[in-house]
Structure 1
Amino acid sequence: MNLFNHPHALDLTRRHFFASAGLSVGSMALASLAGAAEVAPTPRKGADTATGAGAALPHTHFPTKCKNVIYFHMVGGPSQMDLYDYKPKMQEYYDKDLPESIRKGQRLTTMTSGQARFPIAPSRYRFKQKGQCGMWMNDELLPYTAKMADDLVFVRSMHTEAINHEPAITHMQTGNMVTGRPCLGAWASYGLGSLNQNLPTFVVMVAKPTNQDQVQAISARLWQSGYLPGEHAAVSFRAANDPILFINNPPGVTADVRRTTLDGLSKLNELNHGLLNDPETKTRIAQYEMAYRMQSSVPELADLSKESEKVLGLYGPEVKKQGSFAHTALTARRLVERGVRFVQVYHNNWDHHGNLAGRMKDQCADVDQPCWGLVQDLKRLGLFDNTLIIWGGEFGRTIYSQGGITKDKEGKTNYGRDHHPRCFTMWMAGGGTKGGTIYGETDDFSYNIVKDPVHVRDLHATILRLLGLDCDKFSYRFQGLDQKLIGVEKAHVIKELIA
């Protein structure tokens, strides 16, 4: 379409024309730097070609191990030595200062850097070896998780450079501590496309913890698409009332009226796209159409009445409470069952600077049975092998107590733990992982890694491999660079975790 045949062109002033022309030159220069994703190379023998609708890649780089991902992020940083990193030797160091030979001058947060002492607080919880793999686990607070030890792969040697929440969570979700990058779910949506037509490719939910002592702020930019096209950002499902705002038509507006309105909007947006060629206009058209289809698919998704009491019982007593972790876990299963590619769930209040003993019990009770129930439910439906489950936080906690060691009402040890980026534990299950694997090792203080370190980018590279993607080749041209989830440094796929 010729811009100057447009009726509004007659309203342009000379000053407006030159201002617009100047911006257009800049836009053309920027466009020359930007581009689409790298076209996938000729597939290796046996590579999966079944990418979904709207995928940027015509096929995957490797045979696909999983098709869907459910990622549980424990916001705040779970204490690894109280859950999965058993350190019995610390009983000998009770209330003694952390040796400088262990700390090695490593960075501390301002919350403990001014402490006169760094008293070691051994975990107060019972650990047992579980499953054929013999993983030491806290079966006092996580009895259900302990029962499925042989279904999980444990990475006890995770590490990151970020020591504060916002950059650490951003790093874990997007591969960079600086905001504005696409998150892992957006990358999966962009590269692999959709497996359904009536629900989003990428959904995020925030589960409400039972304990509300220290809830962290969670920013929506964690699940945005960054420099990728806008349709790859997550659709947020709310924890109360209708999962999505305005999912129902206003009073007096019928489905036919809604359809006619959207058709008219689509024509206007197509005209606008013809004038400006803005790719976000196409995103807007697609999102309007998705919203229309979700008016029928989301109410059915949210209705748990057709789930049997036996299935509901897998997830525990809170499953019918909207917004609970149990309800969210079941919803995640229903989403992947219907073809949603990536489900991101945030569970808050794992930032245990104090009163860990008073809060950890509630946190574990929220997630323990629902995670176990999800695994059993996916197995029941034949979805476990195709669905990757990820569980973990943004960093770990210190073996020393923040603010000293106290006693609770029962006379038992109570303590708080500060942020610790040097080592922490995460687990994965299903989706092509090798259940029962224990990878990585830390020292007796759970302070330094002594075997098989795994950086955040290594975890991302491994997740991409399970999805059939090569972390070195999967990129998007932006500002003259082939941008990647793993950044510019070398990442290592942890092949020992892959079945």
Structure 2
Amino acid sequence: MHPILHENIARINRRQLFGRTASGIGAAALASLMKRDADASESAVPGSTGLPGIPHHAAKAKRVVVLWQGGGPSHVDLFDDKPVLRDMATKDIPDSVRGNTRLSTMSSGYGKWPCVPAIKPHANYAACGMRMSTMLPDIGALADEICLVRSLHTEAVNHAPGVTFFLTGSQVPGRPSMGAWLAYGLGSETEELPTFVVMTSSDKGKTCGQLFYDYYWGSGFLPSRLQGVRFRNTGDPVPYLANPPGVSETARRLLLDDIAAMSRAHLEDYGDPEIDTRISQYEMAFRMQTSVPELVDFSDESAATLERYGPNVQIKGTFTNNCLVARRLLERGTRFVQLMHSGWDQHNNLFTQLEKQCIDTQAPSAALVHDLKERGMLDDTLVIWGGEFGRTPFGQGDPAKPTGRDHFGKAFSWWLAGGGVKPGFVYDSTDTKENLQNSSVTF
């Protein structure tokens, strides 16, 4: 019998089981869905707090950092130079190429789809000669370390469903996020910091931003202790870490011990797994009173490191600051860090704001990869950079003078680094098979 199922059965008698079905039958069903063979427990990794028998073999990636670029970065302008678009600038994309591509309501009713080539030149970078925009010089300099995937696609044409799909596996909210799954399967490497941390940032006023919903880092039907802990971008990263005036650390410890004793008694009566979560989170919060202030204190970072990240590195709530905090989290044992930065939704200001967005984000993204490599952590850390979809190869707005690009899910690009991915490599193309079959002109 799976340990989770056995534990819940031991705690709950028949009356409690049927009287409290949400924490009784629901917990039993969840445990049965997640059960593993009994023999697998013998092969559990020593010291692991995750599932017995997981991982099944030596994994290359022990931790993950997701650099989520909310809004849909334009792969056409950044990662996939298309000479045909330059040759056909201002001309409509042929119907034979556009086919039945799903578009948002902002473009689906257009009668014209004028080709708009990349707004800035592209160049070949590093020894591998990877081609990308000159707006990404620092990422380009690390081209020998990254794998550029140009063949991603999605059904979603609106932001929230697109983000939800990539972070939870479904366009409909409610499923566990990938950070929660990783925390569930592999457990924690530290007791001083959360296993799964989320930080958000936004360049408000520069370009259109998106909302960050809690279910982007939620635990779904998994225990809530596995959901991401969101660090705030103003004030203390986590609320209420500091003791109230007049309350000493000793007094806080005694208070928590009393609360834990009452919670355990309540747990014996009700068997609710969320009570376990409450106990563990109180203890984590107490330990974080020491670990978090040290985490966000950059006084031990060299001047060269701070300069590498950029001028905003000391400004809380910026993407730059969050990138450095992410590296410090990873080297202290946090397994999954999710940075969510909005501002890539350039419908009406592509020509004025895309480059500014790159200036704000590309140097710290590259600095994070550089730092991980310098510290010998890149080989076992998977870095993921991407958004929910790309942008259309045709312009939006006035057909005679387009000002932006619409959402485009048919094909777009992400890049990855470390964690066993093939470095200095470009995988596939944004030219879809449908396009290749229906036209000799590809985009």
TM-score over 0.5 for the pair: yes
Picking from 98, 109, 126, the partner of 1:103 is 98
CA distance in 1, matches of 2:59, 2:430: 32
Pairing 1:33–2:29 present: yes
- 1:166-222 Cα offsets, whole Å, 9 max, x none, are 111000100111101100100010000001110000000002326543111111111
Counterpart residue number, 1:115: 110
Alignment of 1:84-95 (within 5 A): 84-95=79-90
- The answer on whether the counterparts of 2:150 and 2:430 sit within 8 Å (CA) in structure 1 is yes
- Between the two proteins, what is the percent identity of the paired residues? 42
- 1:407-446 Cα offsets, whole Å, 9 max, x none, are 6xxxxxx631111111010010011211111111123xx8
Picking from 301, 304, 314, the partner of 2:295 is 301
Pairing 1:273–2:267 present: yes
Counterpart residue number, 2:129: 134
CA distance in 1, matches of 2:225, 2:22: 25
- The answer on whether the counterparts of 1:121 and 1:415 sit within 8 Å (CA) in structure 2 is no
- Would the alpha carbon gap of residues 21 and 130 (structure 1) be closer, same or farther in structure 2, given more than 3 Å must change? closer
Pairing 1:196–2:184 present: no
- Would the alpha carbon gap of residues 447 and 305 (structure 1) be closer, same or farther in structure 2, given more than 3 Å must change? farther
Counterpart residue number, 1:291: 285
CA distance in 2, matches of 1:51, 1:156: 39
- Secondary structure at the aligned position of 2:394 is classed as strand
**Structure 2 counterpart of 1:120, one-letter code:** C
CA distance in 2, matches of 1:112, 1:368: 29
- Would the alpha carbon gap of residues 28 and 302 (structure 1) be closer, same or farther in structure 2, given more than 3 Å must change? closer
CA distance in 1, matches of 2:219, 2:334: 17
- The answer on whether the counterparts of 1:422 and 1:449 sit within 8 Å (CA) in structure 2 is no
Alignment of 1:14-413 (within 5 A): 23-24=19-20, 29-35=25-31, 37-39=34-36, 50=45, 53-139=48-134, 141-209=135-203, 212-404=206-398
Return the TM-score normalized by structure 1. Answer: 0.80
Q: Which runs of 5+ in 1 are unaligned?
A: 1-17, 408-413, 452-499
- The answer on whether the counterparts of 1:56 and 1:193 sit within 8 Å (CA) in structure 2 is yes
CA distance in 2, matches of 1:23, 1:231: 24
CA distance in 2, matches of 1:448, 1:82: 22
CA distance in 1, matches of 2:195, 2:71: 27
- Would the alpha carbon gap of residues 448 and 425 (structure 1) be closer, same or farther in structure 2, given more than 3 Å must change? farther
Pairing 1:427–2:415 present: yes
**Structure 2 counterpart of 1:35, one-letter code:** A
- Would the alpha carbon gap of residues 257 and 149 (structure 1) be closer, same or farther in structure 2, given more than 3 Å must change? same
**Structure 1 counterpart of 2:29, one-letter code:** L
CA distance in 2, matches of 1:241, 1:32: 41
- Secondary structure at the aligned position of 2:340 is classed as strand
Counterpart residue number, 2:8: none
> What is the count of residue pairs matched by the alignment?
421
Return the TM-score normalized by structure 2. Answer: 0.90
**Structure 1 counterpart of 2:118, one-letter code:** S
CA distance in 1, matches of 2:351, 2:272: 54
CA distance in 2, matches of 1:151, 1:41: 40
**Structure 2 counterpart of 1:86, one-letter code:** D
Question: Which moves more between the two structures, 308-317 or 166-175?
Answer: 308-317
Q: What CA RMSD, in Å, does the superposition of the two structures yield over aligned residues?
A: 2.3
Residue 32 (structure 1) shift = 4.8
- Secondary structure at the aligned position of 2:324 is classed as helix
CA distance in 2, matches of 1:62, 1:26: 35
- Would the alpha carbon gap of residues 449 and 379 (structure 1) be closer, same or farther in structure 2, given more than 3 Å must change? farther
CA distance in 1, matches of 2:52, 2:435: 37
Q: Which runs of 5+ in 2 are unaligned?
A: 1-14, 438-443
- Secondary structure at the aligned position of 2:68 is classed as strand
CA distance in 2, matches of 1:28, 1:316: 52
- Would the alpha carbon gap of residues 330 and 22 (structure 1) be closer, same or farther in structure 2, given more than 3 Å must change? closer
- Secondary structure at the aligned position of 1:321 is classed as coil
